[in-house]
Amino acid sequence: MSKAVQTAVLGITGYSGAELARLLVRHPRLAGKSPVLVGRVEPAGVPLSEIHPQLIDSHGTGSLCVQPFSWELLADREVEFLFLATPHELSRELAPEARKRGLRVIDLSGAWRLQETKHRAVYGFEDEGSVAALQTQAEAIYGMPELHRTEIRRANLVANPGCYATSVILALKPLISAELLDLNHGVVCDAKSGVSGAGKSPTAKTHFMFAADNLSAYAVFTHRHTGELLEQLDIGSNNLTFTPHLLPIPRGILSTIYVRFAHRQTTEAIEACYRKFFNNSPMVRFTGTRLPQIQDSVRTCYADIGFNLAKDGHRAVIVSCLDNLLKGAAGQAVQNLNVMNGWGEAEGLE
């Protein structure tokens, strides 16, 4: 067992921050090194149980105290890894400073996910094009271990993927890498997420009276995760139609993806493609022709992927499910921590 590292979580009040605290406290590699929890709290030393009563457990998670954030506190506690569960704009401000101070950063926001300026434009970052922003962006690695584990292992700034993006990229990347798809025919991604995907702050669209007993499409052709799909799948915007929907459930994502193959395929060939691609990926469960459901993956750190092939062999429907707060956020962040430290990728997640 290697020496435990000291972690810290900034942004503990949100849903993803709560899941991070729960996972880090129970992580076998971090025994005796509880995460330092920091945020904008007054007074100092607010028990986590007052913010997230559901975290009261026999591990002592609820008794951890949240301290006001300061760089001096992180230095005093000898923090090595800083998780940013913060809004995009705040992560843009904090990540460069954290790197100057020698901290390795895992950022759960969209601040550093996108390499292309045209894709980052959807965020309207005020520091876009500045020297500091460009230097930090050049250092950022897209934090999907199934695609980039070699780069993540030596990274100092990991940009955790978006939840929708994770579900779609994992479903499509094996087929695109094997050049099996007819991309000119177009790929259609119909994705649905629980309300927690919109964050903890209530809005008119996530209010109970809007979301309950309802199903609605939103951000059609404009969703922030679209740029991630285009960059990581390396396809053109004309080849992809991605439409997110709001489900009247607390958490979980189900993406139904429609593809056409360049040449006639068999079920066995498609299964072999997926199994080869995910051979060393413990947090992806490929279910073959059994289509996964949200209830299979919710409150787990797994992504579940299955498919059905049309009788003509030219068309397929792929279904990808995950928990947006775990494999789509906190779970994937801890998976990246494991990779960065050379630990087993699934440690603390199964």
Q: Catalytic residue positions?
A: 163
Rounded Cα distance between 256 and 38, Å, is 38
C-beta separation of 77 from 36 below 8 A: yes
Per DSSP, the three-state class of 243 is strand
Residue 236 tokens, joined: 């053109």
Residue 157 burial (C-beta neighbours within 10 Å; 0-12, 13-18, 19+): buried
Residue listed under structure tokens 């550093």:
112
- Tokens representing residue 293 in the block: 């459901």
**Cβ atoms 147, 169 nearer than 8 A:** yes
Query: What Cα–Cα distance (Å) separates residue 344 from each residue in 249, 335, 349?
Result: 32, 9, 10
Structure tokens at 180: 């099996």
For the record, the structure tokens of 18 come out as 């709560």
* Residue in this structure with the two tokens 């949100």, named with its chain if needed: 14
Q: How far is CA 283 from CA 17, 65, 142, 210, 336, in A?
A: 20, 31, 17, 34, 12
The 3-state DSSP class for residue 159 equals strand
Q: Can you tell me the distance from the alpha carbon of 97 to that of 350, in angstroms, rounded to the nearest whole number? A: 33
